[in-house]
Amino acid sequence: MMKLPSIQHLYKDLLTVVKRFPLQFVFIIVATVCWTYYIHLDRYGADSLLNAALQKILIKAILISNLGLTLTLALDLLAEKKAYKPGKKWLIRIFAVLSCLLLFFLLDPADNFADQLRIALMAFAFHLFVAFSPFMDKGQINGFWQFNKVLFLRFLTAALYSIVLYGGLAIALVAIDGLFNVAIYWKTYMIVFAIIVAGFSPVFFLAGIPTNFEQLEKEAAYPKGLKIFTQFVLIPLMTIYLAILLFYEIKIMVSWSLPKGLVSSLIIGYAVFGILSLLLIYPMKEQEGNSWIKLFSRFFYSMLIPLIILLLLAVWKRVEPYGITESRYILILIALWLTCITVYFLFSKRQNIKLIPISLAILTMLAVYGPQSASAVSKYAQITRLKKILYSQKAEDLKEKPSVVKYLVSKHGLSALQPFTSKNLTHIENVIDSRDDYQYVKDKIKVDTAFSTLKINDKDIYPADTQYTFLSTDHDFPAISGFDYLLDINSYENTEKVFNGIQIKIDRTNDKNLIINLGDTAKLAINLTKIFEESVELVKAKKLKSTKNYNEFLLPANKLTFSKIVKNYQFTYTIGQIRGYKTGSSLQKNWFDIEAHLLIKKL
C-alpha cells in the first residue's frame, strides 16, 4: 500500500534540496510563480493585447527556467562527482545562469518557430546530460546504470505522488464549493495543478538524487518489479510491433510500393521501447539463467537493420519531392543515430551503454545552432526548392509555391524571402510586428505580403481563411442611458441567470444562431451567420468604414441591437464586436467570437 510522505519528512527533504541545489530551487520558484501568474491573466478583457505580450514573457521564463534547472543540475552533479571546491563550483553555476539569461533575451519562442525547436532540443539534450554527467569517466557502467535506475524510479514516484496529491486537493475544493457555497473557479484548480507540477514534483524528485556515486558502482540490487515489467510488458509489446513492421516490410517488397509516413513513427517507437528495455535489463545479462537477454539483445539490433532501411525509405519519400523541413531533419538524424548505434552494439565487444545518451545529446546539441542545425538546413533546403519552382508554370509547381512560401514565412519569418526581392523585407516585417494587434493577425499580414511581393496567387488552389471583425459604432462607449441593469455575456460559455423570477438562458451550442430564452416562452433569436455574411457583403461593396486594425470595420449600432419585452421589462441584447472567418464563398466552421451585453429596463 502506497504511503504518502509526512509533512515533517517533506520539510526535511525541502531543506536538503535548498542546501544541495540552491539554484535549481530558485528556478523551480520562478517557474511556479510565472505559471500561476500566467493563469491569472485575462486573455479576453480590455487589456488583452497587453496581457498577451506579458503571457509570452511568462511562457519564455517558464521554458528557460526548465533549461536552467536541468543544465545546473547536470553541472552540479558533475562538480559533486569531481569533488570541485566551492569556488569552482559556484563559478560553473554562475556561467550556467548567465547562459540562461542570454537565452532568455536571445530567444523568442512565442513568435519564432526556430526558437521553439531550439528550446525543445536543448531541453532534451540537458535531460540526457543529467543522466550521464556524474559518470563521464571511463568505466563505471554499473554505477551509471544504478544512478539512472534511481532517477527513473524517483521520477515515477514523484509523478504518482503528484497525481494523488492533486486529486485529493481537487476533491477537497469540490467539497468546499458544494458544501459551503464558496465559488471556486477553474483558475483555482489550475493554480493548484501548477504548484504541484512545477513546485512539489521537481523538489520531491531532487530530494531523492543519490549523493554517494562511488557506492552506486558497488550496488547490485535489481528491482523485481522492473524485471517483471520489462519481461512481461515491454518486450511482448515490442514483439508485436516488430511483427507488424516486418509484415508491412514484406508487403512493400511484394507490391513494390513506397512506405507510408506512419511507418516512421512506428519504427522510432519500436526502437525507443527496445533500447529502453535493453537498458532496463542490462545488469541481468551477466547473471546465470538469463542467457535469453543476450540473445534478445543481438536479435533486437539485428532486426533493427531492415527497419532502419524502411525508415530511411519513408523519410526519402517525403524529402525527395518536398525537401527537408525541421521534422524531416530530426527523422534523418534519428535514422542515422540508430544506424550507428546498431552497428556499434552488433560488432563492438565493449557494449558501453553510456554511449547511448552521450551520442544522442551531442547530436541534439549540433541541431540547435550553426549551419548544420535543423533550422538552418531546413531553411536552406526550402529556399533552394522555391528557387527551382518560383517561375515555373507546371501545374504541380503552381500548387507547391504557396505552401513553400507559407512554410518559410511561418517558420523563418518574412525576411527569409529576401533573396527573391529587392524590397527590404526585414523593415517590412518589423513594421508589421510593431502593430498593436494579435499575433495571428500579424502572421496573416506577413503571408499576404509575401504572396503580393512574389506575385503568387493561391486563392484558386488553397482558399485562404479571411478574418473579419465588425465593431459597433458605440463599441468603446456603449450607450446605457435609460436602462437599469447590465449583464456581460461570455462568448464561449452558455449563460443561465435568474432576474426577478425571469430565467435568462443564453444558448451558444449552435454557433450559427444565438438563442436567448427569457422565461418559459419568450425567445430572442439572433442569426449570427446572417449578420456576419451581410456585413461581409457591405465590406465588399465598400459601404463600411474601416478602423486601423486589420480587416476591422464599423457597423451601425442599430444593426447589432435586438430587443424583447417580457413581464414589464425590456431586454436589449447589444453586440459590441463579432469576429469570424470566411473561406472563399463559405464560412469557416460557422465560428464567431462575440463581445456583448444584455441591457434590462423596467417599463
pLDDT at 599: 87
In percent, the amount of the chain with pLDDT more than 90 equals 41
Task: Measure the CA angle with vertex 194, ends 188 and 198; round to 5°.
Answer: 160
Q: Is 383 among the domain residues?
A: no
Parent domain of 307? 238-353
DSSP β-bridge partners for residue 527: 513
Q: Is 22 among the domain residues?
A: yes
Mean pLDDT of 29-40: 94
Of 27-36, 250-259, 264-273, 353-362, the least confident: 250-259
Q: Do 182 and 52 share a structural domain? A: yes
3-state secondary structure of 600: strand
Q: Do 52 and 171 share a structural domain? A: yes
Q: Do 198 and 141 share a structural domain? A: yes
Decide: 282 and 239 in contact? Cβ < 8 Å. Answer: no
Decide: 601 and 483 in contact? Cβ < 8 Å. Answer: yes
Mind listing the pLDDT tens digit for each residue in 307-350?
A: 888 888 888 888 888 899 999 999 999 999 999 999 999 888 88
**580/587 Cα distance (integer angstroms):** 8
Mean pLDDT of 526-541: 86
For 397-424, give the DSSP string.
HHHHHHHHHHHHHHHH-GGGGGGG-SS-
Q: Is 2 among the domain residues?
A: no
Mind listing the pLDDT tens digit for each residue in 474-487?
A: 877 777 888 888 88
Across all residues in the chain, what is the average pLDDT?
86
pLDDT at 180: 85
Q: Do 474 and 445 share a structural domain? A: no
Q: Do 478 and 443 share a structural domain? A: no
Domain count, the chain: 4
pLDDT at 292: 66
Position 87 pLDDT exceeds 50: yes
Q: Is 425 among the domain residues?
A: yes
Element (H, E) at 526: strand 522-527
Q: Going by DSSP bridges, is the β-strand pair 495-499/552-555 parallel, antiparallel, or unpaired?
A: unpaired
- Gyration radius (Cα) of the chain, Å: 30
For 362-396, give the DSSP string.
HHHHHTTSSTTSHHHHHHHHHHHHHHHHTT---HH
3-state secondary structure of 524: strand
DSSP β-bridge partners for residue 517: 505, 523
Q: Is 86 among the domain residues?
A: yes
Of 183-187, 220-224, 237-241, 254-258, the least confident: 254-258
Q: Do 61 and 171 share a structural domain? A: yes
CA distances from 145 to 173, 206, 211, 278 (A): 42, 18, 15, 11
Q: Do 483 and 431 share a structural domain? A: no
**70/125 Cα distance (integer angstroms):** 9
pLDDT at 512: 65
**202/495 Cα distance (integer angstroms):** 40
Mind listing the pLDDT tens digit for each residue in 370-399?
A: 999 999 999 999 999 999 998 888 888 888
Position 141 pLDDT exceeds 80: yes
For 172-206, give the DSSP string.
HHHHHHHHH-----HHHHHHHHHIIIIIIHHHHHH
Q: Do 499 and 552 share a structural domain? A: yes
Position 585 pLDDT exceeds 60: no
Q: Is 370 among the domain residues?
A: no
3-state secondary structure of 583: strand
Of 84-93, 108-117, 579-588, the least confident: 579-588
